Structure 1
């Protein structure tokens, strides 16, 4: 006699309740039996052995009513099956299942706010992704998570529609059709509970603002949950810096208008009373360094408590101990409050931890640059005591190479070795092949084009090889240079260069002059590091200059030069100099300075000397603004009784000197032709305020800037400043001022600079050039 007992699990019922009801319904008809065999039907992807692991019975064991209910509950709870059926035929247990489909692909249509990979990673955290079992409840969780991501960005009007596409072999493709909608903008921010400070003062501390005249540019009226949390922390820091140690704030209240376009934010604060510092002391394990540590304490007795000074003290003590090898030093400030007198006793508890040394320096992210190029910039050595100052200096040196967009240095403890750490250097390479392109337009030269190619990190060796070709109608130039920054292991650099230049100056009749200036030569220069930031350099070069195709229309200055020196000259030039670079980055400096002084002395046919100087200083203003200054000067004179050679004059005007004026137009003019002659003395000053570019927070090299320039080109040694034919230029050697706006970007083709400048003290005869564009130029 055989019995057929079926237990079918309803898909949307509670498994435990259903199993109990089934077991109760067959209690009188079900007779336990010994299982001789188990059969599994309906599996496609799932291995039958997986089903066996969920069954509470094995072959040879007795199968009971309770085990039947438990089997159904276990199989359904696994999430692998949408239907479960248990049959018995004789003493054979038959398990029939219907598998849930698996997710073959996840895609997004219409998503622009986020990167696909980032969202897929976020959905995996809630159990939804490729290869996972498809489940309607899991789909709802994924849809909710995706919507939360948009709400955190202020996109309250987002609409998400999942589309399920059945695929062969019991699979599905899931696509989310997304209508992102417009950003909800902040209509009003209201602060409640503030008494010591006005609402306007507190609102100035926030990054978020309500909609205003310039928010289309700044984007500060676009609601973001992360930004709001940051603003709450800024308010907390604001109060703690002013002694309000009992300050607290309720969770911000955020409401949205019915049309989902306007956001209203209410911040409720509890200020408390300000506290003054009654006493300051150090405690803990001070390593007999209390005098040194005491000098690092910035907050003093009798002052109003300041969280900034307290945190700076913690940082200073931690860095000092880190420079002694205590990489995991812990400094905890503990203010004890006297609420009656509103005074605080501040104690810094110092725990230096164990002194550690660096086991290895691990370098990653450099697919092209060799490890040795990065390692030779490191001042922290392997198998040496950990030194936080050396690590910080090493990081800045690597960044100043200019080969990387990002340089991150971190430390990690070595498992099982409490006195060892590894230093991890992670870099993100930038294209170091540089194509220099220059485009300008002026009343004299019209369209000017120049081009060049260089490789700052050739074959990842850290060497520089460049080939520059000037293709403008006025100039022809070819320069080949090679620099080995580590010609010796001590860091002595060597630069070898060859060059050829030919110039056809413009004359007064708006045509190109018949005469030419040709120069060719080569040089060898060496640089010697004397400190971590200072370098001296010297070198020698040979140069041949020739003026040809001279005529009566040639500018008088060049005819006088030929009468004095002849058409062809040879000279050997010696140079010596010093430079110092403390900038935090070569690509987009935000702090530090760069200084350079050098001198050239020429012998043989051309006997002159020229001094050069430059100073750049970068001052950070807040998190995203940088104020930069640049000063540059040149001063030349001859020896041996001859006048300064006009072919060695320096020029100013245009990008790199005084923007808003045509390139090279400052200084004396030729008395016969009005040609720009330049001069033997040049002074240039620039001030630039860098501003963050909206929406480009990930690219630190893309910035707007406001600028003000000043410059002057004149003569030395009593030379005359000619104003050109019939005094064409009123004051060519006077100071010229300009101001304007521009854009700078470290583009894949090289440093890009766009500027629009206007002269501030324009005189008759000055040559203006408002819009200027150049790729491959600096400051």
Structure 2
């Protein structure tokens, strides 16, 4: 029996029983009389007028023993009194009451699982709290409610002991002593009645699991009634997706061990037989759009019935009608079963409803962000036909601004106007100013320190202003940038930046070179949206480069040659043009979609070169928990004019982000004097990665392990000889390098963490291998 029904029944019936038991005594106490006056004794907080309203008699009226019984019943039923007596003295009706105490305070001892303020609020909803009348039945109800809160958390060993402390002025203090106990965990899940699918297959569909090596992190072995109900529904969907239209399940049986530490779950199923689809029809008001709606039907004749395809068809038709202004369209699938043939005739009944348009868009919750910052992201327009696609796109665009913790877009009908709705955009702002301090570590860059201050929504305008500083063993950088995402009303963005970089190029283990490249400059870039997913970007920047700490004996020969050809200091103006398209479902842990980027840089003045770059990522889901990812990138640089490609603009490969299993930046030519890694003007990298669920964390996309294979090549586009370092120390530095291995990806609180253990598959003499590699603070 639920808590809402258990105690109020006794509270209503008990006063009636008491009144009926006491009623006969009044027949002996007095005979009927006319009330000359009414006197009330024993009240402290309750007003006398309150008691008068519950009495079935007034001064000057006759009072009988039946009315006395009724009066006692009414006064008990108020819940204000623990005792009620009625007497008569010289035709004066005397009512003597004893008030119940009020609750002065509610406290908890030993509570760690919940916030006491939230629990007090929860108990208040069942009638128990500070200022309320103290009642033993309500205390039992509060104790029951509190215990239910703990049971929902899987703490079945909880012990609750209420302590009542009398206080002056007829008050009490209520304190709950709580021993929370240990968390009960699922020890066994058993499925009964499954014949066509194994228990392991069905358990894979469930969120709850038995205890395992990672359940300390995922918590999936903690029993929850809500989670179990979700798992029951998931198994039901599993069968319906495979045509088992007569599938049914009995209520799950949950038992607990005597020591309240282990929970056992049993699911009993009745599978039935799978059904094939014999015919598929559309019915109802199709608005003459049969040729548009028919292609949206995913269910095909002759196939095994699939609930997911049926639901997808319903959604597709509803969404399509929503784009035409039919905001309240209803599509009802109706399968008619032929049990002898195990076939079904499926009919989709379409009711588009009334076409509506948007009267106005109302924005709320933005105390700091200007309305225009939100409105310019809206693709649904006022006084236009309702378009479900535009409303969803609007919601996603507002959310992608990053200024809000929550974005809720919903429609409300306009009273008295059956063909109008209002679109309400309710946002919950979050702090957009950020001061960050970070520490990372990479197997190549070693210790990485970062600091920055940024304001993503400065003065509520939607503009971004930031200062970022990073430092590591080989690189230091400081960048100040300002971005106006709506420099024009058409959504063209403008970014202005100035930067400083100091780089000590990668050294090999036996290098003794010593030099430094310092660069500073500024740029102006524009982004032009051409669709919801595509963007063209272009810009120009000025850059000054200087080489310092040069030594004829210890500086790599390639850098000495660069100084001879270009000088120690160079200036260049760099123009860039590019295009990107991003359809990934997540930028952090994608499972489907693709990312494409093409760009080109053209440098003028002292450094005359161009660099063309391309990258393509593709994510293909393999079932619910597996994803295969493909990544390919190409960089191709060349000079125009008579000079060689500037070595300070070379690209590098090897390590995390390119070819794992090889030392970071070790691929490509080596310097003939110092054996330093020089990189090259051409880079080709390809990666294939299979993400798998971590044991015990199958539904957590932020923690995954993976198998990978990498391939890459660093060389020069000039066609010159590929130098292998001192005395050709490296046999084939510019050849293709392959590797394979296993790794772990985790979106940790410190930032993206990636661990990999790779094996170089075709390493040659002189190649620098590194099996174990890891990095914190950057993603792959």
Fold shared by both chains (TM-score > 0.5): yes
Post-superposition CA distance 1:475-506 (Å, at most 9, x none): 44322111111111110111111122233457
Distance (Å, rounded) in 2 between the aligned partners of 1:728 and 1:100: 95
How has the CA–CA distance of structure 1 residues 695 and 125 changed in structure 2, closer, same or farther, with 3 Å as cutoff? farther
Q: Residue 238 of structure 1 corresponds to which residue in structure 2?
A: 238
With 38-47 and 569-578 compared, the bigger mean Cα shift is at 38-47
Distance (Å, rounded) in 1 between the aligned partners of 2:422 and 2:637: 53
Question: Is 2:352 aligned against 1:352?
Answer: yes
Distance (Å, rounded) in 2 between the aligned partners of 1:674 and 1:334: 74
Kindly state the Cα deviation for residue 561 of structure 1 after the two structures are TM-superposed. 0.3
Unaligned runs of 5+ in 2: 1-10
Q: Residue 288 of structure 2 corresponds to which residue in structure 1?
A: 288
Distance (Å, rounded) in 2 between the aligned partners of 1:589 and 1:602: 35
Post-superposition CA distance 1:435-490 (Å, at most 9, x none): 263533658x6544343333333344322222122344644432211111111111
TM-score by length of structure 2 reads 0.88
Distance (Å, rounded) in 2 between the aligned partners of 1:277 and 1:38: 81
Q: Tell me, yes or no, if the aligned pair for 2:220 and 2:696 is still in contact at 8 Å.
A: no
Unaligned runs of 5+ in 1: 1-10
Question: Is 2:711 aligned against 1:717?
Answer: no
Q: Residue 638 of structure 1 corresponds to which residue in structure 2?
A: 639
Kindly state the Cα deviation for residue 270 of structure 1 after the two structures are TM-superposed. 2.5
Q: Residue 399 of structure 2 corresponds to which residue in structure 1?
A: 399
Q: Tell me, yes or no, if the aligned pair for 1:504 and 1:513 is still in contact at 8 Å.
A: no
Kindly state the Cα deviation for residue 577 of structure 1 after the two structures are TM-superposed. 0.9
SS in 2 for 1:521: strand
Q: Residue 522 of structure 2 corresponds to which residue in structure 1?
A: 522
Post-superposition CA distance 1:220-241 (Å, at most 9, x none): 4443322322222223223323
How has the CA–CA distance of structure 1 residues 196 and 295 changed in structure 2, closer, same or farther, with 3 Å as cutoff? same
SS in 1 for 2:519: strand
Q: Tell me, yes or no, if the aligned pair for 2:365 and 2:429 is still in contact at 8 Å.
A: yes
Alignment length (residue pairs):
762
Distance (Å, rounded) in 1 between the aligned partners of 2:174 and 2:698: 32
Q: Tell me, yes or no, if the aligned pair for 1:474 and 1:512 is still in contact at 8 Å.
A: no
Q: Residue 578 of structure 2 corresponds to which residue in structure 1?
A: 577
Q: Residue 597 of structure 1 corresponds to which residue in structure 2?
A: 598
Q: In the TM superposition, what are the counterparts of 1:745-764 in structure 2 within 5 Å? A: 745=747, 747=749, 752-761=751-760, 763=763, 764=766
Q: In the TM superposition, what are the counterparts of 1:55-94 in structure 2 within 5 Å? A: 55-94=55-94
How has the CA–CA distance of structure 1 residues 155 and 446 changed in structure 2, closer, same or farther, with 3 Å as cutoff? closer
With 763-772 and 664-673 compared, the bigger mean Cα shift is at 763-772
Distance (Å, rounded) in 2 between the aligned partners of 1:640 and 1:76: 103
Q: Residue 679 of structure 1 corresponds to which residue in structure 2?
A: 680
TM-score by length of structure 1 reads 0.88
Q: Residue 208 of structure 1 corresponds to which residue in structure 2?
A: 208
Kindly state the Cα deviation for residue 391 of structure 1 after the two structures are TM-superposed. 1.7
Distance (Å, rounded) in 2 between the aligned partners of 1:458 and 1:709: 44
Q: Tell me, yes or no, if the aligned pair for 2:661 and 2:759 is still in contact at 8 Å.
A: no
Q: Residue 555 of structure 1 corresponds to which residue in structure 2?
A: 556
Q: Tell me, yes or no, if the aligned pair for 2:739 and 2:760 is still in contact at 8 Å.
A: yes
Q: Residue 669 of structure 1 corresponds to which residue in structure 2?
A: 670
Q: In the TM superposition, what are the counterparts of 1:338-417 in structure 2 within 5 Å? A: 338-364=338-364, 369-404=369-404, 406-417=406-417
How has the CA–CA distance of structure 1 residues 560 and 442 changed in structure 2, closer, same or farther, with 3 Å as cutoff? same
Q: Tell me, yes or no, if the aligned pair for 2:662 and 2:760 is still in contact at 8 Å.
A: no
Q: In the TM superposition, what are the counterparts of 1:184-263 in structure 2 within 5 Å? A: 184-211=184-211, 219-263=219-263
Post-superposition CA distance 1:262-320 (Å, at most 9, x none): 33333322333333333322222222222322222222333332222221211111111
Kindly state the Cα deviation for residue 345 of structure 1 after the two structures are TM-superposed. 2.3
How has the CA–CA distance of structure 1 residues 17 and 468 changed in structure 2, closer, same or farther, with 3 Å as cutoff? closer
Q: Residue 566 of structure 2 corresponds to which residue in structure 1?
A: 565
How has the CA–CA distance of structure 1 residues 86 and 590 changed in structure 2, closer, same or farther, with 3 Å as cutoff? farther
Distance (Å, rounded) in 2 between the aligned partners of 1:171 and 1:625: 62
CA RMSD of aligned residues (A): 3.5
Q: Residue 4 of structure 1 corresponds to which residue in structure 2?
A: none
Q: In the TM superposition, what are the counterparts of 1:504-515 in structure 2 within 5 Å? A: 504-505=504-505, 515=515
Q: Residue 302 of structure 1 corresponds to which residue in structure 2?
A: 302
How has the CA–CA distance of structure 1 residues 448 and 205 changed in structure 2, closer, same or farther, with 3 Å as cutoff? closer
Distance (Å, rounded) in 2 between the aligned partners of 1:730 and 1:694: 45
Post-superposition CA distance 1:25-76 (Å, at most 9, x none): 2214424444455444444444444333322233444433222222221121
Q: Residue 618 of structure 2 corresponds to which residue in structure 1?
A: 617
Q: Residue 737 of structure 1 corresponds to which residue in structure 2?
A: 739
